[in-house]
Structure 1
Amino acid sequence: MMRFRQQAAVRLLLAGALWAGLTQAYAEAQYQLEKVVELSRHGIRPPTPGNRTSIETATHRPWARWTTQDGELTGHGYAAVSNKGRWEGEHYRQLGLFTAGCPQPGDVYIRASPLQRTRATAQALADGAFPGCGVAIHRVAGEDDPLFQTDAFPATMTEPATQLAAVKQKAGDLAARQRALQPAADALKRAVCDPAADCSIFTTPWQIIQGKNGKVSIEGLSVMANMAETLRLGWSENLPLSQLAWGNITRADQITAILPLLTASYDLGNDVLYTAQKRGSILLNAMLEGVQQDAGNRHATPDTRWLLLVAHDTNIAMVRTLMDFSWTLAGYTRGNIPPGSSLVFERWRDKKSGERFLHVYFQAQSLDDLRRLQAMDDTHPLLRAEWHQPDCRLTEAGTLCPMQSAVRALSKNLDRRAITPVAYPAF
């Protein structure tokens, strides 16, 4: 009987391998990948200077100093992103998007936000995908890019009164929100609060406040979200446990337990539709133009096989809000945007019919894979969530959505008044 079961298992394994081979051949025969537009968050960094000030003030104690300057990409972060870039380069070569070796002219265009952590992340992705090729990283002159730093330009700035009203409407019963999140706040308090210090920030009622510049924040929640983000980044950085919440966090699930505070901060910040329409429309429009480029459409975006934009979680949050796209990846909370994660638009063509499709998804590494610098492979794949609507189809290439109807759906929340012309350096 045991021998029979072993033989049956072998037959099933061989049949599965054969089916997998046939499935791959079918996908290669029927669908062809033509273009990729990717919006990536920067990799792992220490807290920004402003965040450090706020979390140290709230907890009345200094937080760990990292090996890099506050807000800058770390060496560990570079390595993690380079691993991702290496996997993407190999993956897209296997799919026929690129040939072996260095990219040809027109194969790839990379644009980074002007900040160090985004520029260094873009370099890490390029070095991983195309090692030794010296792929150019493009950026605008100065410190503000109209695609990413949208609060610096008149057309994409929010109107203060409208912004405040939109946040209040989204917040609803703020006290009820705070009560629902008290378990996460208590877990964070146990991790970071010195019992001898004033830790009233964890129980003080939240308030919606608006600064002189019109920016709206949730007093109380914002600083706790900064703490949760700093601890998540510290876990991903593989900080010694003694330096991570003073030894009070030793497992990834303890990070997961405090991430609902970060989700709540997203909900009442960049995920507010009015905010996203004013500050995210220009970026989502550029991504949609990029993925349609040279498919019977001519736009100002680079006509390249892989358009890679490297920015911030705030940018991804606003774009996904306009798309009506949300996700919950294993080990994270709803809508979480880990370091090095990315929102991807792929354009595929059915070779038989000529019809074009969009494959839209969000991808990230797990908390532990980032901490271990785990290379991506079949055993350790990227976590992924796909966007879809009723007319999409499940294929061997993924969930493919008819291009015209997908673009209409993804464009429905754009504020055309907030979309201004964008120039692309050295293109």
Structure 2
Amino acid sequence: MKDSAFSVTRFALGLLLGSALTPVALAQTASSDGYVLDKVVQVSRHGVRPPTASNEKLLTQVTQRQWPTWLVPLGNLTGHGYTGAVEMGRYRGTVLRNAGLIPQGCPDAKTVLAHASPLQRTKATAQALLDGMFPGCGFQPTYVAGKQDALFQANEMSFAALDAEKAKAQILKALGGSVEAAQKRYAPFEETLREVACLPDVNCPYGHEPWKLVQNEKGRFSIKGLSAGANMGEVFRLEYSQGLPLDKVAFGHAPTAADVSGLMVLTKAKYDYLNDIPYIASRGASELMNQIALALKQGTALAAKNVTDTPPDVPLMLLVAHDTNISYLRTMLGFGWKLGDYIENNIPPVGTLQFERYKEVSTGDYFLRIAFEAQSMDQIRNLTQLQGQAKPLNSEFKSATDCRTTRVGLLCPLKAAMATVERNIDPTALTPYRFQ
């Protein structure tokens, strides 16, 4: 069983991928049109997991039926998810080696920073990415003790607390004026989920609860009633991505990736009305965006001066987070995407927001490429090897007006691009931070 031997999977992959690797010197390589990749910061979502315990409890209550059983604890990375993340790491490692950012074999450990949110699924995904990118090197991610890290859980911490009235006003504006009006618009999608998840001879309460905007004890807003449908769509996608038999995916109602996405309309609505709110995103991710910005400016004329809380100056920074973090960053940037069969702006397992800094050899000028990359739903389900034509889905972001199309992608002048990266950082939502 693919989820019952996480450590065995890692050991086997290490033997397969990492035999006889030795350190070599780092050598930067210019592309054919004269650009050198010299720094990368990437923020990845964790891999495939079962529903969290709270989501499992909610979905069981509202549908009055048993949901599929998973072979790992609720909320934890699965063995399938680990293997998919290893493949994404292997692919990214190949890309970065070909660009000359990292060497063949094992680089000096001090040139790589991998830092994860302190949950099992994020820590295990970070390990999987390292195992795929640097097989046999024994690299391990860092993470804070406890359950909260200011980079990843700022939206639950006092230094980034919300002004409840301001947040509520922006949410209601996004909803179109009222929660009730929004629910009426989405009534057909609630009915579709009732038909999928509710048995005909059972008193199924799903879809009959009025939506209500609430704020929890940690300060986060949710829409009671919408949450169940949003979580349902996400769980269906996880079931498909995990490789569950198709008669188990959405109770047999989603035989294709497109069918799964068709059941995620309320999942997108949750993000539209709660995560993709400028004020909420800025409060929740300014700390993370600020550390990204500090890293991208290191070694350039834009580098921060007299700032003590800067990240280590390394060529490669891997941050493993949650879809909430990436959705906040996306909103702060104003970056939208539509990848393959996924719904608009969706953040799949191991989906990665990439910040790639290039130097033009002839002028010494710096440029920034920002992109979002993710495996397709079928690539994750089938554990497809990412090579040849089977590459991840990708969308680039135009962060300035005078960007240029090159062989390495859409490159924007660093100074102008950094103005976009930093424009929505809220200085009152920052706290001193040091990486482990």
Aligned residue for 2:359, secondary structure, equals strand
Q: Is the 8 A contact 1:184 1:259 kept in 2?
A: no
Q: Is the 8 A contact 1:185 1:258 kept in 2?
A: no
In the alignment, the residues of structure 2 paired with residue 148 and residue 26 of structure 1 have an alpha-carbon distance, to the nearest angstrom, of 34
1:228: Cα distance to partner? 0.5
In the alignment, the residues of structure 1 paired with residue 89 and residue 317 of structure 2 have an alpha-carbon distance, to the nearest angstrom, of 13
Q: State the partner residue of 1:359.
A: 369
Task: Label 1:288 to 1:212 Cα distance change in 2 as closer, same or farther (>3 A).
Answer: closer
Q: State the partner residue of 2:424.
A: 413
1:18-67 alpha-carbon deviations (Å, 9 max, x no partner): xxxxxxx9834500000000000000000000111111111011211101
In the alignment, the residues of structure 1 paired with residue 38 and residue 393 of structure 2 have an alpha-carbon distance, to the nearest angstrom, of 23
Aligned residue for 1:230, secondary structure, equals helix
Aligned AA for 1:137?
Answer: P
Q: Is the 8 A contact 2:63 2:205 kept in 1?
A: no
Aligned AA for 1:155?
Answer: F
Q: State the partner residue of 2:103.
A: 99
In the alignment, the residues of structure 2 paired with residue 227 and residue 265 of structure 1 have an alpha-carbon distance, to the nearest angstrom, of 12
In the alignment, the residues of structure 2 paired with residue 212 and residue 421 of structure 1 have an alpha-carbon distance, to the nearest angstrom, of 24
Q: State the partner residue of 2:332.
A: 322
Q: State the partner residue of 1:242.
A: 247
Name the structure where helix makes up a greater proportion of residues. 1
Q: State the partner residue of 2:343.
A: 333
Aligned AA for 1:79?
Answer: T
Pick aligned residue for 2:147 from 107, 132, 143: 143
Q: State the partner residue of 2:319.
A: 309
Q: Is the 8 A contact 2:257 2:378 kept in 1?
A: yes
Q: State the partner residue of 2:77.
A: 73
Q: Is the 8 A contact 1:106 1:303 kept in 2?
A: no
Runs of 4+ in 1 over 4 A off after TM superposition: none
Aligned AA for 1:106?
Answer: K
Identity over aligned residues, as a percent? 39
Moved more, 259-268 or 100-109: 100-109
Q: Is the 8 A contact 2:33 2:406 kept in 1?
A: no
User: 2:401 aligned with 1:402, yes or no?
Assistant: no
In the alignment, the residues of structure 2 paired with residue 351 and residue 154 of structure 1 have an alpha-carbon distance, to the nearest angstrom, of 45
In the alignment, the residues of structure 1 paired with residue 108 and residue 395 of structure 2 have an alpha-carbon distance, to the nearest angstrom, of 31
In the alignment, the residues of structure 2 paired with residue 67 and residue 418 of structure 1 have an alpha-carbon distance, to the nearest angstrom, of 39
1:299-328 alpha-carbon deviations (Å, 9 max, x no partner): 611111110000100000111111111111
In the alignment, the residues of structure 1 paired with residue 172 and residue 254 of structure 2 have an alpha-carbon distance, to the nearest angstrom, of 34
In the alignment, the residues of structure 2 paired with residue 100 and residue 372 of structure 1 have an alpha-carbon distance, to the nearest angstrom, of 28
Pick aligned residue for 2:381 from 371, 375, 400: 371
Aligned AA for 1:266?
Answer: Y
Aligned residue for 1:240, secondary structure, equals coil
Q: Is the 8 A contact 2:33 2:407 kept in 1?
A: no
User: 2:293 aligned with 1:283, yes or no?
Assistant: no
1:167-195 alpha-carbon deviations (Å, 9 max, x no partner): 22221244443344344333322221111
In the alignment, the residues of structure 1 paired with residue 156 and residue 213 of structure 2 have an alpha-carbon distance, to the nearest angstrom, of 23
Task: Label 1:254 to 1:189 Cα distance change in 2 as closer, same or farther (>3 A).
Answer: farther
User: 2:223 aligned with 1:218, yes or no?
Assistant: yes
Q: State the partner residue of 1:187.
A: 192
In the alignment, the residues of structure 1 paired with residue 379 and residue 346 of structure 2 have an alpha-carbon distance, to the nearest angstrom, of 16
Pick aligned residue for 1:124 from 128, 131, 142: 128
In the alignment, the residues of structure 1 paired with residue 324 and residue 149 of structure 2 have an alpha-carbon distance, to the nearest angstrom, of 14
Q: TM-score under structure 2 normalisation?
A: 0.88
Task: Label 1:93 to 1:224 Cα distance change in 2 as closer, same or farther (>3 A).
Answer: same
Moved more, 50-59 or 96-105: 96-105
Larger Rg: 1
Q: State the partner residue of 2:164.
A: 160
Q: Is the 8 A contact 1:29 1:351 kept in 2?
A: no
Q: State the partner residue of 1:52.
A: 56
Q: State the partner residue of 1:267.
A: 272
Q: Is the 8 A contact 2:76 2:121 kept in 1?
A: yes
Task: Label 1:213 to 1:93 Cα distance change in 2 as closer, same or farther (>3 A).
Answer: closer
In the alignment, the residues of structure 1 paired with residue 188 and residue 158 of structure 2 have an alpha-carbon distance, to the nearest angstrom, of 41
Q: State the partner residue of 2:26.
A: none
1:231: Cα distance to partner? 0.7
- How many residue pairs are counted as aligned between the two chains? 401
In the alignment, the residues of structure 1 paired with residue 357 and residue 198 of structure 2 have an alpha-carbon distance, to the nearest angstrom, of 49
Aligned AA for 2:260?
Answer: I
User: 2:414 aligned with 1:392, yes or no?
Assistant: no
Q: Is the 8 A contact 1:290 1:303 kept in 2?
A: yes
Aligned AA for 1:40?
Answer: S
In the alignment, the residues of structure 1 paired with residue 136 and residue 109 of structure 2 have an alpha-carbon distance, to the nearest angstrom, of 16
Aligned residue for 1:262, secondary structure, equals helix
In the alignment, the residues of structure 2 paired with residue 184 and residue 84 of structure 1 have an alpha-carbon distance, to the nearest angstrom, of 33
1:349: Cα distance to partner? 0.6
Moved more, 194-203 or 336-345: 194-203
